[in-house]
Structure 1
Amino acid sequence: MQTNDLERIARQIRRRDLRAVFEAGAGHIGGEMSVTDILTALYFRVLRVSPDAPKDPNRDRFVLSKGHTACVLYVTLARRGFIPEEEVETFLKPHSRLNGHPNCNKVPGVETNTGPLGHGLPVAVGMAKSAKLQGADWHTYVVTGDGEMQEGSNWEAIMAAAQFGLDNLTLIIDHNRFQQGAALADTNDLAPLRPKLEAFGWAVTEIDGNRMDEIVPALEHRAEGRPHCVVAHTNKGQGISFMQDRVEWHHKVPNAEQYKLGMAELAEEME
């Protein structure tokens, strides 16, 4: 799939995600908008996965470590055919399998339960190590938030991945510069991230994480003998002017007027 096709799908996913959060009255819209382009590139270009065989042992693995942005993962999975598109309407409703954090026991295409931050990357390291032990050629991808990188468990996993030479592992850091309640710079500022990962023995690529022509080649890159980290510089609330780079939109829900304005702005992008 070409860049312009991926960009079109990403805009459609953003619109559906905005609608789902508005209708549910809950969600994490800011971080969902920042990571949409990455998820689109993964599921519609990079990942070797099939909705017809979600447990194929030879499939690539993807872990959304920032599990609070589950809604946009559900929308992406639905658009890709893993779950019915109409099921997105059940997000957060009683008895729905589309909960606030992804559940691998309920939702096809979800590889592991995530939510508590700092868990997804260690699990992904285990997946990549498993593939090495089996002599398998499938690849593991994991997306974390930048605030999430404050968790010590991530740095233990980063050390292990380098020690094991896991060149079948790609970490994507959604570096939108904000976390719950504050800017990253005002809490425990890890920036710049690149030299820290490189010091731990990783290959690192820095990109604009909201530009598809930079995302795709970065995700397809392989670093021989070393794990690869993509530091994706993104914007919280990407695509919606009044949400962009505003900390309150970490989990704020748009009112009717804001919803209408947001949908209109995303529609203008599609023209």
Structure 2
Amino acid sequence: MGKIIRWISWLSIDVVLGAVAGMLFFSKLFHVALPWQPYVLLGMAVWCIYNLDHLLDAQKVGEKLSGRRQFHHQARVPVLIVIGILGLLGLVGGFWWFGWGLELQWTFLLGGLIGGIRFLVLKFGKGWMKEFSIALFYVIGISWLPFLRSNSLDWSAWHGLFFLLYLLLANLNLLILSFLDQEEDQLAGFFSVSQELNTVSLILWIKYLMYGLLILLILVLVIIPSFYKLFVAILFLMTLCHWYVFNMDGVDSEKKRIGMEWAFFLPVLLIFLK
């Protein structure tokens, strides 16, 4: 069972499930009933992006580092083939299911903008910008279609607040992952926040963000209208999972990574509770 869970993590399937659950979170928040096709397309896109990123990292470091990167180095050919197939199927499926309408046009425009910003950050930005930009693109990606399909009459400042809260949680996740991979990233010369901050400073920033987010969520839970309280509770549980995993003693970084990634699957509870 441990092997299966590890392979699920190495292939970023847990990240895919977390992203799909995140889209469900925002679809429920915006009162939008999405069909199954957007969830499939999102999952395919997330899988391709994350595994392509792992392949590029594995090319740089070869076989000398973590099991995750060793796996992508050794299985680079089949993984690359699957990325190509899923990428092609995603393009065909996007045109087939949505047509060349405004939704797809705006999505392509957003994708190009994200790609351009990502290039600029990697080329000219500072280490902390990598984690922040990835978190921002992630939350935009999972909330994009629910937002486009929502009724503007339903929009409120609370929706903006939930976007911010999810963004803070995604940043917390990436900062902890950067801390767990700090030694490896520095050894391989990877561009990350660990290049900007030493271990003590990085831990402090993680704790500031983690406890600040927990306090903010409790305050929001008290003042927010009743409809939104369940969404706040879900985010609180997700943040609490990160707190628990981060403070676990005697657990290796791979298991901590797996625990935090599965925390993003918690919004699936909305299927049964909402």
Which one has a bigger Cα radius of gyration? 2
**Bigger share in strand:** 1
**Bigger share in helix:** 2
